Amino acid sequence: MFVGVARNYKEGMRFVDGFESPTLSSGTALLDIREAADNRLTVEVLPSQGASHGKGKLIMVSGSFYIAKGKHSKPQGEDAHFICVEKQTIAVADGVGGCSRKGIDAGIYARQLMENAVKILLNEPGDNVDLCTLLYEAYLKTRAQGSSTACIIALLDNSLRAVNVGDSGFMLIRKGEVIYQSPIQQHSFNYPYQLECDEVDSSPSYAEEFVIAVESGDVVIAGTDGLFDNLFATQIEEVARAGIQQGLDPQDVAWTIAQHAYHISIDNNAFTPFAQASTKAGRIRQGGKSDDITVIVSYIIDA
């Protein structure tokens, strides 16, 4: 198990394991969307023809890379993440930068949230972990000032389970193509849903749950908005596909994607998802968005 810790961009930090609407490729999957009694939204992606769901045990092999925006002045940044091999679970969190205007380091909240989540996770008996309960318990134990988005993903019974609050998220690639991308949760442009201590309107009750049938060969890419604001799904897909074809392991694919996102983030002329969303919101701008960038890549393989 590894808990994500940041270092500056040049040193990096690798961890190896041993917009608005979902993206689906035609003919690969079906969506079943339900609203739970507590207003949580559950999205189920039904299996594609020939999927390995239930045919044999699958495992998730993961690696990650993190680039902090303030590489020298604030090397830990505001993102946090973990890879828990024992429980086949990964997670990302992004401390909301607006807290800095109040003199609060939201990175502390994000790191504490992830630390609490992994501690609770490791104390859970068996493998059948309820991710919404996990997120809620971690939220209750996190008493630091600040707020954060959060996305927790686990491979359970050959299905990908996920819970998400805010604009961090994940995508699923099958046979080189993105077949699903989690939707952004935001109140308005650049104002994501978030978790905050003792705030009723910023609690896990707004989380979205996901259940996705997976098969051997699938690739999961999770990240914070520093990834998804700078690279379109097709760009991530292209970079990931090239790395996989070269035989790179998950950590190296994560490194490659993060580097690509970083270089776009400092390009004032790049056309990016953030620039596109800004224009749609009536705030004309171009170029990348400087931000912390966390990428986790997980290969779904036969055990």
List the chain pLDDT tens, one digit each, 303 residues. Answer: 333 332 222 233 333 333 223 333 222 334 444 444 344 556 666 665 555 445 699 999 999 999 999 766 677 899 999 999 999 999 999 998 766 667 788 899 999 999 999 999 999 998 888 999 999 999 999 999 999 999 999 999 999 999 999 999 999 999 999 999 999 999 999 999 999 987 666 789 889 999 999 999 999 999 999 999 999 999 999 999 999 999 999 999 999 999 999 999 999 999 999 999 999 999 988 999 999 999 999 999 999
Does residue 112 lie in a domain region? yes
Helix ranges (H only) for 123-249 are: 131-141, 225-228, 233-245
Does residue 192 lie in a domain region? yes
Structural domains of the chain, count:
1
User: For the domain that residue 214 is a member of, what is the CATH number?
Assistant: 3.60.40.10
Does residue 38 lie in a domain region? yes
Does residue 30 lie in a domain region? yes
Non-local CB neighbours of 207 within 8 Å, separated by 6+ positions: 40, 132, 135, 163, 164, 165
Q: What is the dihedral of CA 136, 183, 15, 4, to 10 degrees?
A: -40
Does residue 172 lie in a domain region? yes
Does residue 242 lie in a domain region? no
Does residue 264 lie in a domain region? no
Does residue 255 lie in a domain region? no
Range of the domain at 205: 2-225+292-302
In degrees, rounded to 5, the angle at the alpha carbon of residue 219 between the alpha carbons of residues 218 and 222 is: 145
The span from the CA of 224 to the CA of 231, in Å, is: 11
